[in-house]
Structure 1
Amino acid sequence: MKYSNPVISGFYPDPSICKAGDSYYLVCSSFHYFPGVPLFESRDLINWTQIGYCLTRKSQLELTGEGASGGIYAPTIRYHEGRFYMVTTNIKMGNFYVWTEDIYGEWSEPVKVEQGGIDPSLYFEDGKVYFMSNGVSDDGIEGITQCEIDIETGRKLTASRSIWQGTGGRFLEGPHLYKMNNFYYLMAAEGGTEYGHMVIYARGSSPYGPFEGYKKNPVLTNRDKGGYLIQGVGHGDLIEDKKGNWWMVHLAFRQISFWSMYHHLGREVYMVPVTFDREGWFSAGVNGMTPLSVETDRIPEGVIQEHRTEYTFHNMDWKKDWCMLRNPVMENYTMGDGSLRLRGTAVTLGKTASPTFIGIRQKEMKVQITCEVTVTEGEGGITILMDEFHHYDLALKKLESGGFLLQKRVCIGDIKYLQESFELEDKPALTAKLTISGDSSQYRFEAVVEGKDIFLGTNKTKYVSTEVAEGFTGVMIGLYAQGEGKACKEPVLFENFQCRYERCTLE
């Protein structure tokens, strides 16, 4: 069969994968969004369903005042003796892990590990638990650092030792250790999570090495491949399927076009086959790179890759599909069956506190978002949000002096301006049907108010791209409410939300 990449589209970076029984489980980074660490399940590796989050309580995930791209970095998920473990970094508190015996339930309180660096991982063998991250060893050597820990307490049982220094590329990160074919394989990423990104590996005879690098490193990369949509290939994790085949899940991103080096959807989840040679070294992908489509006989016959194209309040789960900024004040959110009420506060989208905001990741470039917004006090609308400094807002605003304003505001770094504003009549409440349509190059903003069509202009996608905004996130489609310098008594009502996608499969 032929499957297409990405296998999980939208801002879901740094994927890590494990298997338990007949199912596969995958987690991704979440940075300053709450709940933290999206959790997915699959039976066939190409169709994934989000089943929740690993970090659902403030006691697990402290994000107060965290700016964009702070918070949670690069988790790893592992399954061992009936328990799932998710280990990650919170920039505020360092490295920690949580665990659960019920993948659909709540996870434990954080167990902190006193080893620095980021991108932690776990490896279990013969009663020992190895903890590794990128960083500096106890004797001052930079590289992939490893110690043994007590899995019940997180206490270090050995010194942190540097076990590999990579191949010389910058930003050595994302280590994972495996045992296959009587060798220990240490896989990592180099080149920075951008256009020079790549996956590398080495192997040795013990968990501490010494490790011999693969002679054809990098084993997977799309670097220096011009005129190609998929770029930034790196940060991988390996999994053996039910038939004994090996695969790599990894992050990459899609440019907005073949020759335009901007991406705004964020880093997504891709998958390629892995093949071992007679000497036990493995190669990955198609000639060491990741394509948009993969022809393979490894996926069982009858499996069809599904591409969901419509999302509404009725077919999404508030606790699984949506997320908020930092630690939300839940009293300001009323999530009903087919409707949403948000109570605005003085905190706006441009602040590093928690505005009244709830969002989903934009999953494809070609999108149409519509929602009916009813305002009686304050402001409510739809935002195309990359971070607090880069967003496009389509808003309906109640004036304290009477009347309403329909506005489109633009924030691009230090440039903040009101692009369009229409005065509307005074009444107790007003409903507007807001629409944002997007393709790879631009967003188009429209509204219908009391039967009147209003066009509010267009804005380029590249100004909310990673290349402009920097950071590690992707565009979120957000619904929000805010007050005019104060908290509102009356909530904004959101109804008939619909987000439709058309997937581009050009190669």
Structure 2
Amino acid sequence: MDVGPISLYEAARMGDYKLVRWIVEYSRASLNEFDDDHRTALHYAAESGNLQVFEYLTDRCGLDPLQGDAGLVTPWDIVHENATRAELNGTAEGYKQIESYLEGKYGHCYNDFYRNPIRSGFFPDPSICRVGEDYYMVNSSFIFFPCIPISHSRDLVHWEIIGHAITEPKWAYLEGLEGGRGYWAPDISYYEGRFYIAATYRLNDTGPVYRRQMVVSSDRPEGPYSEPVFIDEDGIDPGFFNDEDGRRYMLLNRGARIFELDRSASKKISEPVLLYYGSNKRAPEGPHIYKKDGYYYLLQAEGGTGPGHRATVSRSRELMGIYEPCPYNPIMRQTDEGAVIQRCGHGCLVDTPDGRWYMVYLCGRKLGDGYSILGRETALDPVTWTADGWPIVNGLKGPSCMQVKPFADDRDDCSDEIGVSPCGLPFDYMTPRPFEKGTLVYEATEDGQIFTIKGCSAPLSSIDARNIVLRRQTSFSFEYDVNMEIPELKDGQSAGITGYYDENTYFTFGLKSAEGKIHVFSHEHIGDEDRWTISEEALENASGSIKLSMNTVDFVRTLSYSINGEECIWHTLTDVCYLCDEGLSKGKRFTGATVGMFAYAGTENDLTVRFTDPIYTEI
């Protein structure tokens, strides 16, 4: 009889308690192994509906009912889905028994849990602060405008963008910067009735200055914020610390260096001092300080932003004193190389009004051979304090897939309507670098959204392109549909939709003109390589509107169009992994995949294209 791991899965799926026990206790089967979908034997036991098997594998074998598989599906998800489905045919009893067992084990019902990540898609390097019962979070935006999204929540789980730190184009200073530069790792702080946001302003590697620290402030969390001031101190990832005596400080890497600020946080008034280099000693960054119970706690991100990323902590009785590392370090790290949620680290702590603590932190969900096409995202897990006074995240189990909501009552006050930035864009859209006034106009009408783009003579492969408007990709599978009024194109001009990472990697799909005729086309730009697919036959009597569609499943994108109700599947891009951080070794790649619209004017400057009703639907 085969008693390997597969037999254990099969026995668990059959609900054969005696066979499961024999395999676990007498065979060489290992409970540390996973199947090809990263499922444990408990996932299979959940399918059986056998409470005895499920309890045994959970209580006696220590398998986790909240551990996600390759699709972040947990054993409890399987139980709950089967219990709901079985209600229809009267076979739900076993699944209901398991659900009752799980509710007793965790003290919560299924609907009391949230899922990580809490901010999906391109939302890296989170920083959070609380004012009363409101939470505010900022994330890196790099060269995208408006700069540094500010999100609001009342329950730490549901978030919506309410503003940006920089919405005035002339204050962005992003012209000429390569993709991946711009505003890194912002921090938000509340001090004496005013909100302060700092970020590293990362320039190109042309020197002599590579990094400066930017600070803005406002009396309203959503802004408008003041004109940026810059502090000339090298380093990345600025973190504010406001001490109990009212003195203000900024921290920067390498390691954790600290210097004092004036009360306006606009001027450095002391020289930097190294507090502590870090526990892991590799790429220490993202420093934050918190004061609690007489200790200054120093939180750092270490290990680089790849699979070795982690969060560590140290503490001292004196702000400038000697910091001792936590014996439980790293307090957050993904140790399961096969799990979907990876590269966990760069975090920020926040407390609740009733004294509980949480950490928001950077993570990335891998797809295929380690590609994180959604970019670096934001996750949330609870923080507990040990008897000897150290903070640990999620019981040192690494990132959670399924976690109890911080608040039992319904505090989700996120609006279904998308707000509009002072720069004129809806909060869910952005542009690579600022656009000139009048070149991009957005209207929200009763009939839908309208984007009017004035074509730019610079192609999408240029850092001078100002003809692109984008939104974050937030799901591995989605549909993106846009109606485009067919423009009068001159030779060399084009317009349509795009899947975009930066000027080095993107694809476009739409219409272009050649020899006086309009053709459907798609184009992939991957570093120095260009791949074109152009229709042999021109569109006859091209007028009215065309619906452009992008259907995405993982790395496969099916492009189609529809004119006068007749749909045509145009082309399938079979592997767009170049839209990932890992997709090309060129420049700084820290962002994430986006989708949107573009208009390219070629050598002419008289192209204007009208797009209506862009619809992004997660599948």
After TM superposition, the score normalised by the length of structure 2 is: 0.75
Match of 2:313 in 1: 201
**Among 390, 407, 413, the residue aligned to 1:299:** 407
1:123 lines up with 2:241 in the alignment: yes
1:262 lines up with 2:371 in the alignment: yes
Residue deviations 1:363-399, cap 9 Å, x none?
A: 1111000111122233211111111111121121234
Whichever of the two has the greater Rg, that structure is: 2
1:362 lines up with 2:362 in the alignment: no
2:468 and 2:237 map into 1 onto residues whose CA distance is 28
Match of 1:170 in 2: 282
1:458 lines up with 2:607 in the alignment: no
Match of 2:218 in 1: 100
1:303 and 1:99 map into 2 onto residues whose CA distance is 27
Match of 1:28 in 2: 139
Question: Secondary structure of the residue that 2:118 maps to in structure 1?
Answer: coil
2:477 and 2:353 map into 1 onto residues whose CA distance is 35
The CA RMSD over aligned residues, in Å, is 2.2
Match of 1:331 in 2: 438
The letter for the 2-side match of 1:497 is: P
The letter for the 2-side match of 1:66 is: L
**Among 557, 560, 581, the residue aligned to 1:443:** 557
1:71 and 1:87 map into 2 onto residues whose CA distance is 13
1:206 and 1:419 map into 2 onto residues whose CA distance is 64
1:132 lines up with 2:251 in the alignment: yes
Residue deviations 1:31-75, cap 9 Å, x none?
A: 010110000000110010110111112343200111110101100
1:4 and 1:207 map into 2 onto residues whose CA distance is 36
- CA spacing shift, 1:268–1:307, aligned 2, 3 Å: farther
1:381 lines up with 2:496 in the alignment: yes
**Among 526, 533, 536, the residue aligned to 1:419:** 533
Counting only pairs closer than 5 Å after superposition, residues 164-243 of structure 1 correspond to structure 2 as: 164-222=276-334, 224-243=335-354
Match of 1:140 in 2: none
Match of 2:382 in 1: 273
Q: Is the 8 A contact 2:560 2:567 kept in 1?
A: no
2:510 and 2:520 map into 1 onto residues whose CA distance is 6
2:453 and 2:169 map into 1 onto residues whose CA distance is 20
1:320 lines up with 2:435 in the alignment: no
Q: Is the 8 A contact 2:556 2:572 kept in 1?
A: no
Greater percentage in helix: 2
Question: Secondary structure of the residue that 2:614 maps to in structure 1?
Answer: strand
Q: Offset of 1:9 from its aligned partner?
A: 0.8
1:347 and 1:280 map into 2 onto residues whose CA distance is 57
1:442 and 1:311 map into 2 onto residues whose CA distance is 29
Q: Is the 8 A contact 1:380 1:482 kept in 2?
A: yes
Percent identity reads 29
Greater percentage in strand: 1
**Among 271, 274, 289, the residue aligned to 2:398:** 289
Q: Is the 8 A contact 1:235 1:250 kept in 2?
A: yes
1:79 lines up with 2:179 in the alignment: no
Counting only pairs closer than 5 Å after superposition, residues 340-359 of structure 1 correspond to structure 2 as: 340-359=451-470
1:499 lines up with 2:616 in the alignment: yes
Question: Secondary structure of the residue that 2:551 maps to in structure 1?
Answer: strand
2:533 and 2:402 map into 1 onto residues whose CA distance is 40
Runs of 5+ in structure 1 lacking a partner?
136-142, 503-507
1:234 and 1:168 map into 2 onto residues whose CA distance is 12
Residue deviations 1:308-351, cap 9 Å, x none?
A: 8x9999xxx83422111112123211212221111112111100
Structure number with the bigger relative contact order (C-alpha 8 A, sep ≥ 6) is 1
- CA spacing shift, 1:355–1:302, aligned 2, 3 Å: closer
Q: Is the 8 A contact 2:280 2:303 kept in 1?
A: no
Match of 2:158 in 1: 47
Q: Is the 8 A contact 1:189 1:200 kept in 2?
A: yes
Match of 1:139 in 2: none
- CA spacing shift, 1:339–1:154, aligned 2, 3 Å: closer
Q: Offset of 1:244 from its aligned partner?
A: 1.1
1:410 and 1:148 map into 2 onto residues whose CA distance is 49
Residue deviations 1:285-325, cap 9 Å, x none?
A: 253300221135x42244579998x9999xxx834221111
Residue deviations 1:138-196, cap 9 Å, x none?
A: xxxxx211111113363322221111110133111000011012110000101111111
Question: Secondary structure of the residue that 1:63 maps to in structure 2?
Answer: coil
1:433 and 1:105 map into 2 onto residues whose CA distance is 37
1:403 and 1:312 map into 2 onto residues whose CA distance is 40
2:617 and 2:521 map into 1 onto residues whose CA distance is 23
Match of 2:32 in 1: none
Q: Mean Cα displacement is larger for which, 381-390 or 299-308?
A: 299-308
The letter for the 1-side match of 2:535 is: S
1:428 and 1:449 map into 2 onto residues whose CA distance is 9
Question: Secondary structure of the residue that 2:438 maps to in structure 1?
Answer: helix
After TM superposition, the score normalised by the length of structure 1 is: 0.91
- CA spacing shift, 1:306–1:312, aligned 2, 3 Å: closer
1:406 lines up with 2:520 in the alignment: yes
- CA spacing shift, 1:41–1:186, aligned 2, 3 Å: same
**Among 469, 475, 480, the residue aligned to 2:584:** 469
Q: Is the 8 A contact 1:403 1:427 kept in 2?
A: no
2:542 and 2:555 map into 1 onto residues whose CA distance is 38
- CA spacing shift, 1:307–1:56, aligned 2, 3 Å: closer
